[in-house]
Chains A and B, each alone.
Chain A
Amino acid sequence: MNHLSEEQIVLHYYGDAEEATEVERHLAACAECRAEFARVQSMLRQIEPLEVPEPAAGFEEKTWLNLHDRLPEKGSLLRRLFRPSPPKWAFAGVMALLLAAAFLAGRFWPRPGQQVAQQPPSQVNPQRVVLVAVGDHLERSQMLLVEIMNADTKGPINFSSEQAEARELLDSNHLYRVSSQQAGDPQVARLLDQLGRVLAEIANGPAEVSPEDLEQVRHAIQSEGLLFKVRVVGSEVNSRVRRPEPSGSGVNQRL
């Protein structure tokens, strides 16, 4: 009888040998091959406990700091869209958000005169604070939409975490939509209206959705390029928030 090759024995250790049952039958019958197998096994078992050192504390931070300056900018498409000549609707949308921000700022800071007296004007920019909130709202909405677009469609889908997020977003969405309407921008109001309907659909649906339900929600997201619009406006709002304002009235100046 032919003995097993070294390759068969090694691969058998990992369960990767061809004709595994024949290999096993041979090992049961042949002491010599069994001995060889045992040697391989004992050697390989010794290699098991090799340990990896934990990277030092702050390793993630260090990796990021070293990496950060080497990352080229992404999203040049968006930059081309906004500069030098932004498309009309997007510009109008941003204007409306800024107006909405100013409007909300008025509601959230009922005594602006007192505040200015207490703090240097460069630090008091309620419009900016609300702008951060609007940007955050669109960003979170975008993430939720992307997540839904990428959810696994096999079998029943647990939607409870998406629903909780949609419910929260729906509340603030309402506020921003009302203010953009009052600010007189039908386009951004329409965007938030559209977003609101999709959020409502997600928030009020069953916790476990079928692939068909999911497809319906996706269709609603895809219709009229909702995700793209949310992305574009959200990104522009965020880039304005990040840009340092020369003075506390920077937003107003642009309006």
Chain B
Amino acid sequence: MEVTDAAVVAQVLAGDRDAFRVLVDRHSRSIFRVVYRMTGNQQDTEELVQETFLRAYKSLERFELRANFSTWLYRIAVNRTLDFLTARKTHMQTKDTYQIVDNPDAEDSAQIQLPAQGPGPDRLVLSAEMKQKIAGALGLLTPAERVAFTMRHMEGRSIEEISQTLNLKASAAKNSVFRAVQKLRQQLEPYAGPGTSSRGARWSGSAMK
């Protein structure tokens, strides 16, 4: 029988610190994915995964045993990442902006490929160059915009989930998503030349003629 997360939490609270490892084994990879999408940096992500679990452990008494552990952990991870991005922004304002673009290490370029589930009919196969431009544009967003955009766009989370996770009003969550897209357009639309076989390129092309 697979032991539930809640049962493991109870075990840890009863004094079995090592039982916490089960939760690390179960959830660290998914937390890694969540955080990586928001930071775009492997090393920062690994540290944030640790910080997330440390914080979860320390506040384990506040976890409602009836609640879903992964949702709870996810919220900690997102908020921890938001704090981290905010702190980084204030400490290294100018350098930070281009950090992601400057960091295309070997592992990253190996990842420039189609998503595992295969491209949908509308998916475009992007060049490595375009991927870097996207990463650079994402780096220009404010931490809140980046987090909200990642949740809505990449994870398909609802506005309600975003506002609950970040403790925002729904209107503020929507606004963060919108401002993120607005900035991304400013950065990325100049690159969408006639070569891109998108409907948007055709529309803009015909408008100019």
Task: Please pick, from A34, A46, A73, A144, the residue contacting B17 in the complex, using a CB distance under 8 A.
Answer: A73
State whether the Cβ of A41 lies closer than 8 Å to any Cβ in chain B.
yes
Contact call B3/A45, Cβ cutoff below 8 A:
no
Complexed CA–CA distance, A138 and B204 (Å): 70
Q: Please, which residues of chain A bring their CB within 8 A of the CB of B114?
A: 49
Contact call A42/B200, Cβ cutoff below 8 A:
yes
The count of A-to-B residue pairs whose CB atoms sit within 8 angstroms is: 194
Contacts A43-B184, A47-B184, A55-B29 known; A235 to B16 CB distance under 8 Å? Answer: yes
Complexed CA–CA distance, A13 and B184 (Å): 14
Q: List 14 A-B contacts (CB under 8 A).
A: A11-B174, A35-B203, A46-B192, A50-B37, A62-B46, A64-B24, A67-B20, A67-B57, A72-B58, A78-B14, A139-B11, A150-B65, A161-B1, A235-B16
Closest chain A residue, CB of each to CB of B61 = A74
- Per the CB 8 Å criterion, the residue count for chain A at the interface is 60
Contact call A66/B50, Cβ cutoff below 8 A:
yes
Complexed CA–CA distance, A239 and B15 (Å): 10
A4 smallest CB distance to B (angstroms):
13
Task: Please pick, from B8, B65, B134, B175, the residue contacting A50 in the complex, using a CB distance under 8 A.
Answer: B134
Contact call B199/A38, Cβ cutoff below 8 A:
yes
Contact call B1/A74, Cβ cutoff below 8 A:
no
* Chain A 53-71 per-residue mask, 1 if CB under 8 angstroms from chain B, else 0: 1010001101110111011
Q: Please, which residues of chain A bring their CB within 8 A of the CB of B199?
A: 38, 41-42
Complexed CA–CA distance, A161 and B37 (Å): 36
Complexed CA–CA distance, A66 and B28 (Å): 13
Contact call B15/A46, Cβ cutoff below 8 A:
no
Q: Please, which residues of chain B bring their CB within 8 A of the CB of A129?
A: none
Q: Which of A71, A149, A162 has the most CB of B within 10 A?
A: A71
